[in-house]
Amino acid sequence: MKEPGTDPLQGGRAPSPIDPDTRYVDGVAYDPDADTDIGGARPDLDMPTGKLIRRRFLRHRLAVVSALFLAFLYLCIPFVEVIAPYGANQRDAEHLFAPPQAVHLFHDGSLVAPYVYPTVATADLEKFQWTYEEDRSQRQNLRFFCLGDPYQFWGLIDGRFHIVCPPEGGTLFLLGADKLGRDIFSRLVYGMRVSLTVGLIGIAISLLIGITLGGAAGYFGGWVDATVQRMIEVIRSLPELPIWLALSAAVPPQWSPVSVFLMISIILGLLDWPGLARAVRSKLLSLREEEFVRAAELIGASPQRIIRTHLIPNFMSHIVVSASLSIPAMILGETALSFLGLGLRPPAVSWGVMLNDAQDLTIIEFYPWVASAMIPVILVVLAFNFLGDGLRDAMDPYS
Amino acid sequence: MIRYLASRVVTMGFTLALVSALVFFIINLPPGDFLSNQIAELQAQGESASVAKAEFLRAQYSLDAPLWKQYLIWLGAVPGPDGYSGLLQGDWGWSFEFDQPVSDVLGETLWLTVLVNLAAMLFIYAVSLPLGTLAAVRAGGVTDYVVAFVGYIGLATPNFLLALILLYYGERYLDLPIGGLMDERFEGEPFSFDKFKSILVHLIVPTIVIGTAGTAAMIRRLRANLLDELGKPYVTTAKAKGVPPVKRVMKYPLRAALNPFVADIGNLLPSLVSGSVLVSVVLSLPTLGPALLAALRSQDHYLAGFILLFVSALTLAGMLVSDILLAILDPRIRFGGRGR
């Protein structure tokens, strides 16, 4: 069939009408990608998955803004002592329930250094309430990069450096003061440390239990699977908050704030894992049957390699998404527990502890700024939700 | 159908048994118990008569027995000092703080709790069905964005804050009553039409507050399901045939999309019930929420245990209802097919 001397790769020839046995051989070199090349219609599909995910995520504006916002907050967490102008529990008996102070930039129409007007408290004996008036006659300039109230950085190093300090002899209550004259803004900043990390620790616990149990159920099947399934069913049918309440009521009151905090995060994580375990299990079950896994097995890849390079990337995206959607639930959970007085207890500061002060209607009516912790709570929860939605869309770039 | 139902009921009973064990374990977690605290206090005061009574109660409730035995006695599976007397026999235990049987302490609150949750459930479905449908049909329009915005706010605002805010503005502008579930003059009164009306007016704020988060989730779910369904070729065919728009949505796509909507009760109920616990503390509703909180604080552990168990049983019953509804709605489930 093959004529001696002609290499089929060097240039084929058309089948000769005379010789029916001649097989046509295309002279063009074999291109293994030819099948998957769809004529440049979607050349972007050939990009590495990571790049596709990033590109698709960046298209989701709201998610990007949320991610930046959250990144900013989490970056602030280590430095709260420096950022907050006051200490978390520092009281100013002269300024109980002081309203928020405005920072002024313009004086008589010209731009000057940021300043505040001092406030003077007078007792309103008819309503039994403090009223505050701005003393417009004098300006007090804010101090920046200054030495102010002493603190212990991370509870270890003594320091006095702040980014912003109240003016000499004056006050700086950006968001007002609470019933003990503590600066709400500083407390918000301090509370951020607890409120934002509670979700992270909780999700770590939840991931640990969820992946272990879900993985075991999906991998071993049989009675392990049945047991885990039953556990999931039981835990999912429990109403979360009452159980959280019961569990945190069991935390001994004499524990230190740090251990209470750790315990609360663990409690929050303990009820969250079933959804995750279920997802991991079903993903593992379906992935195990996929052709690429079988192909890898047939080529002779070790189970370790299959799990690492073929299975984990496939359900990692799912885990990242469900984690980013679980964290806000835990933040809300901590807030609710502390609000009811069964979570963190003063002197620990968290957004929930702050909201505990805003429990009754008189506060909402007369001193609404005491409840200002609700704004960061709402913003953070929203941001996590948007981030989760954006990630979910982005993680599946081929859809 | 009957076989399916029977299997569901048996599973539920099994789950409930596990839940009761878990609950009993949880309420016994705090070190010490109400009686030993009380005995210590009374001994400090030197009151021997009360100490004797407390000691008697300790023996009565076999608080000295090992935990597993206490649990079985509580359940009524094993005879206690007075023979069989536990949950299975209808004895809900003794509230040490109120010095009364748990059933007397809770009384009406149980039914009010069921009522509040039922109202919130109805609210969720009544609101999310039309809004979700509208959002899907007008996807990308103004309605869609408004609904999504309201939904996100509902998702992100902690229940109790919403309760405080609505309570304040409801009282101020709409003259809605503050706190409680009925006018004070009706408390303890026999049931009458006026009492019913009073309860209805008081239910408005709690229902909205408890229902908001669930409504937001439901709207999103229904919208996604309906959007999937609306993109299918048979809808295009219907459009090409000239089926009027309302009928085109209502007749098949909406019915197909309703399925997961009903199935979601299972996810919705636990969060609904736990939300209502929190909200009723803020609004001081005479439901199980405040009672649970007080019982947990004073370590009144049979009271707390019963409330936890009742609340869990409530969610389980709700799930059973959703299963039954689904079975009626979807023949694939009814006949045990591989539909799910």
Subunit contact B153:A378, Cβ cutoff 8 A: yes
Tell me if A245 and B296 make a contact (CB, 8 A cut-off). yes
Q: What's the confidence (pLDDT) of residue B180? A: 65
For residue A168, is pLDDT > 70?
A: yes
Range of weakest confidence among B119-133, B191-205, B213-227, B249-263: B191-205
Q: Provide the whole-model pTM.
A: 0.79
Helix (H, G, I), strand (E, B) or coil at B272: helix
Residue scoring higher pLDDT (B219 or B73): B219
What local confidence, expressed as pLDDT, does residue A5 receive?
A: 46
Residue B221 has pLDDT above 70, yes or no: yes
Across residues A192-198, what is the average pLDDT? Answer: 88
Task: Please report, rounded to a whole number, the percentage of residues in chain B having pLDDT higher than 90.
Answer: 1
> What pLDDT does B339 receive?
39
User: How many contacts, defined by CB atoms under 8 Å, are there between A and B?
Assistant: 118
Residue B150's Cβ-side half-sphere holds a number of Cα atoms within 13 Å equal to: 18
Answer whether residue B188 shows pLDDT above 70. Answer: no
**How distant is the Cα of B226 from the closest Cα of chain A, in angstroms?**
19
| Residue B189 binned pLDDT confidence (cut-offs 50, 70, 90) | low
CA nearest neighbour of B263 among B232, B218, B223, B207: B218
Burial A14-47 (b: 16+ CB within 10 A, else e): eeeeeeeeeeeeeeeeeeeeeeeeeeeeeeeeee
Strands B100-101 and A143-153: unpaired
Determine the average pLDDT of the residues in A216-240.
Answer: 82
Q: Identify which has the larger pLDDT, B84 or A158.
A: A158
pLDDT at site B67: 75
Here the tokens at position B333 are 């489930």
- Predicted confidence (pLDDT) at residue A68 exceeds the cutoff of 90: yes
List all residues 6 or more positions away from B139 whose beta carbon is below 8 Å from its beta carbon: B223, B227
pLDDT value for A74: 92
Answer yes or no: is pLDDT of A8 > 50: no
Instruction: Say what percent of chain B tops pLDDT 70.
Output: 85
Mean pLDDT of A202-215: 87
Q: How many CB atoms lie within 10 A of CB A142?
A: 18
Residue A3: pLDDT over 50: no
Position A171, amino acid: T
Contact A234 B19 (CB under 8 A): yes
Which of A231, A232, A233, A237 to probe the B interface (max B CBs under 10 A)? A237
What is the DSSP code string of A83-147? H-SS-TT---GGGTTPPPPPPEEEETTEEEEEEE--EEEEEETTTTEEEEEE-TT--EE-EEEEE
Mean pLDDT of A316-334: 83
Nearest residue of A to residue B179 by CA position? A361
Identify the pLDDT of residue A1: 42
pLDDT average, residue stretch A195-203: 89
* Residue written as token pair 């019963």: B306
A240–B165 CB contact, under 8 Å: no
* Residue A65 confidence class, pLDDT cut points 50, 70, 90: very high
Residue of B nearest to A249 (CA): B296
Contacts of A364 in chain B (CB under 8 A): 164-165, 168
- Interface probe, candidates A232, A243, A372, chain B, greatest B C-beta count within 10 A: A243
- At B35 the pLDDT is 72
Contact residues on chain A for B158, CB-CB shorter than 8 A: 332, 335-336, 339, 355, 374, 377
Q: H or E element: which one contains A161?
A: strand A157-165
pLDDT given at position A392: 80
In this structure, how many other beta carbons lie within 10 angstroms of the beta carbon of residue B52?
A: 12
Q: Which of B27, B159, B167 sits opposite A246 (nearest CB)?
A: B27
Residue A361: the pLDDT is 73
The amino acid that residue B289 corresponds to is G
CB contact under 8 A, B158 and A374: yes
Distance (Å, whole) CA B31 – CA A164: 46
Min Cα distance A380 → chain B (Å) is: 8
Partner-chain residue, chosen from B31, B266, B277, that has the shortest CB–CB distance to A242:
B277
Please compute, for residue A266, the number of CA atoms within 13 A of its CA located in the half-sphere on the CB side: 10
The enclosing H or E element of A187 equals helix A184-220
Question: Reduced to 3 states, what is the DSSP secondary structure of residue B310?
Answer: helix
Closest CA to A194 of A141, A279, A258, A102: A258
Tell me how far apart the alpha carbons of residues B64 and A395 are, in angstroms, rounded to a whole number.
56
- For B194, the enclosing helix (H) or strand (E) is helix B193-230
Q: What does pLDDT average to over chain B?
A: 78
- Which residue is closest to A252 within chain B, CA to CA? B30
**Which tens digits make up the pLDDT trace of B32-81?**
677 777 777 777 776 666 777 777 777 776 677 777 777 877 777 777 66
pLDDT of residue A213: 86
Q: Let me know: does A371 contact A364? Beta carbons within 8 Å.
A: yes
Q: How confident is the model at residue A70, as a pLDDT?
A: 92
Mean pLDDT of B263-281: 78
Assess: ipTM above 0.85.
no
Phi, psi of B83 (to 5 degrees): 80, -170
Interface of A with B in 313-372 (CB under 8 A): 328, 332, 335-336, 339-340, 342, 355, 358-359, 361, 364-365, 371
Q: Count of residues for chain A? A: 399
Contact list, B15 vs chain A (CB under 8 Å): 230, 233-234, 237
Alpha-carbon distance A261 to A191, whole Å?
A: 12
More reliable by pLDDT, B59 or B17: B17
Top-confidence residue, B111 or B48: B111
Mean pLDDT of A351-359: 84
- Checking if the pLDDT of A350 tops 70, the result is yes
Taking residues A74-94, report their average pLDDT: 82
Residues of chain A in contact with residue B308, where contact means CB-CB under 8 angstroms, are 242-243, 246
Determine the residue among A65, A69, A70, A233 to mutate to test chain B binding: the one whose Cβ has the most chain B Cβ atoms within 10 Å: A233
Where residue A54 falls among pLDDT bands split at 50, 70, 90?
A: confident
Question: Nearest-CA distance from B205 to chain A in Å?
Answer: 15
Quote the CA–CA distance of B38 and B55 in Å, as a whole number: 10
Please answer yes or no on whether B312 and A238 come within 8 Å at the CB atom. yes
Q: What is the mean pLDDT of chain A?
A: 79
By the CB < 8 Å criterion, does A237 face chain B?
yes
The amino acid that residue B261 corresponds to is F
Q: How far apart are CA A217 and CA A219, in angstroms?
A: 6
- Other CB atoms within a 10 A radius of the CB of residue A303 amount to 10
Closest alpha carbon to A351 in A362, A365, A337, A366:
A337
| Confidence at residue B178, expressed as pLDDT on a 0 to 100 scale | 63
C-alpha distance from B308 to closest chain A C-alpha (Å): 7
Model pLDDT, residue B166: 79
List CB contacts (< 8 A) between B165 and chain A: 364
User: Do residues A231 and B15 lie in contact, with contact meaning Cβ atoms separated by under 8 Å?
Assistant: no
Both tokens of B239, joined, read 């459009």
User: Out of A239, A335, A358, whose CB is closest to B311?
Assistant: A239
The string of pLDDT tens digits covering residues A173-182 is 878 888 787 8
Q: A346 vs A208, which has greater pLDDT? A: A208
Q: How far is CA A265 from the centre of its chain?
A: 14
Distance CA A368, CA A355 (A): 11
CA pair distance A258, A350, nearest whole angstrom:
12
* pLDDT band at A15; cut points 50, 70, 90: low
A253–chain B Cβ distance below 8 A for any pair: no
CA–CA separation, B99 and A344 (whole Å): 31
Contact A217, A259 (CB under 8 A): no
Q: How many Å apart are CA A204 and CA A330, to the nearest integer? A: 12
* pLDDT above 90 as % of chain A: 4
As a whole number, mean pLDDT of residues A373-380 equals: 88
Which residue, among B275, B58, B56, has the nearest Cα to B158 in the 3D structure?
Answer: B275
Note the pLDDT of residue B338. Answer: 42
Quote the pLDDT of residue B47.
Answer: 67
The Cα A192–Cα A373 span in angstroms is: 10
Residue reference for tokens 């102008």: A85
The pLDDT tens digits of the residues spanning A263-308 come to 888 888 888 888 888 888 888 887 877 888 889 889 988 877 877 7
Asked if A241 and B274 come within 8 Å (Cβ–Cβ), the reply is yes
> Which residue from A281, A271, A239, A210 is spatially nearest to B319, judged by alpha carbons?
A239
Residues within 8 A of B (CB atoms), A 370-389 only:
371, 374, 377-379, 381-382, 385
A243: nearest Cα among A341, A312, A333:
A333
